Chain A
Amino acid sequence: MDRFDGRLEQLFQDYKASVMVPEAGPNFMPRLWIQIDARRTFAFRIRKATQIFVAASAVACLLMTGINVVGNSTAPRQQHATYLDVLADAHPTENLAALGILAHPEGPEASH
Chain B
Amino acid sequence: MNPRLDVGRMLVEFELIQRAKAGDDAAFNQVVSAYRKRIFGTVARLIGRPEDVEDVAQEVFLRLYYSLDQLRTPEVFEPWLYRLTVNASYDYLRKQRRRSESRMADLSEEQVMMADAAAGGKNSSEEQRRKQARELVESLLAAVSAEDRILLMLKEVEGRSIKELEQIYGVKENALKVRLFRARQRVLKAFENSQKDAAKRQPDKGK
Interface residues in chain A, defined as those with a beta carbon under 8 Å from any beta carbon in chain B: 1, 4-5, 7-9, 11-25, 28-29, 31-33, 35-36, 39, 43
- CB distance A11 to B191 under 8 Å? yes
- CB distance B58 to A8 under 8 Å? no
- Contact partners of A25 in chain B: CB under 8 A: 54
In the complex, which of the residues B41, B51, B57, B137 contacts A11, with contact meaning CB atoms closer than 8 Å? Answer: B137
In the complex, which of the residues B29, B140, B157, B195 contacts A16, with contact meaning CB atoms closer than 8 Å? Answer: B157
- What is the number of contacts between chain A and chain B, taking CB atoms within 8 Å? 87
Q: Which of B81-89, B126-134, B161-169, B171-179 has 4 or more CB atoms under 8 Å from chain A?
A: B126-134
- CB distance A24 to B36 under 8 Å? yes
How many chain B residues have a CB neighbour from A under 8 Å?
36
Interface residues in chain B, defined as those with a beta carbon under 8 Å from any beta carbon in chain A: 25, 29, 32, 36-37, 40-41, 44-45, 48, 50-51, 53-54, 57-58, 61-62, 65-66, 129-131, 133-134, 136-137, 140, 156-157, 184, 187-188, 191-192, 195
Asked whether A8 and B191 contact (CB < 8 A) given A21-B44, A39-B62, the answer is yes
In the complex, which of the residues B44, B45, B140, B188 contacts A1, with contact meaning CB atoms closer than 8 Å? Answer: B188
- Contact partners of A9 in chain B: CB under 8 A: 156
Closest 4 interchain pairs by CB?
A: A18-B130, A14-B133, A15-B137, A18-B134
In the complex, which of the residues A4, A24, A39 contacts B40, with contact meaning CB atoms closer than 8 Å? Answer: A24
Asked whether A1 and B131 contact (CB < 8 A) given A21-B40, A21-B50, A32-B58, the answer is no
CA distance A11 to B152 in the complex (A): 13
Distance from B131 Cβ to chain A, minimum over Cβ atoms (Å): 6
In the complex, what residue of chain B is closest to A10 when comparing beta carbons?
B133
Most chain A beta carbons < 10 A, residue from B57, B58, B184 = B58
- CB distance A35 to B40 under 8 Å? no
- Contact partners of B136 in chain A: CB under 8 A: 11
- CB distance A29 to B188 under 8 Å? no
- Contact partners of B66 in chain A: CB under 8 A: 36, 39, 43
The main secondary structure of chain A at its interface with chain B is helix
In the complex, which of the residues A4, A15, A23, A29 contacts B157, with contact meaning CB atoms closer than 8 Å? Answer: A15
CA distance A1 to B192 in the complex (A): 8
- CB distance B58 to A35 under 8 Å? yes
- CB distance A11 to B50 under 8 Å? no
- CB distance B62 to A22 under 8 Å? no
- CB distance B32 to A19 under 8 Å? no
- Contact partners of A24 in chain B: CB under 8 A: 36, 40, 54, 57
- CB distance B134 to A14 under 8 Å? yes
CA distance A16 to B157 in the complex (A): 6
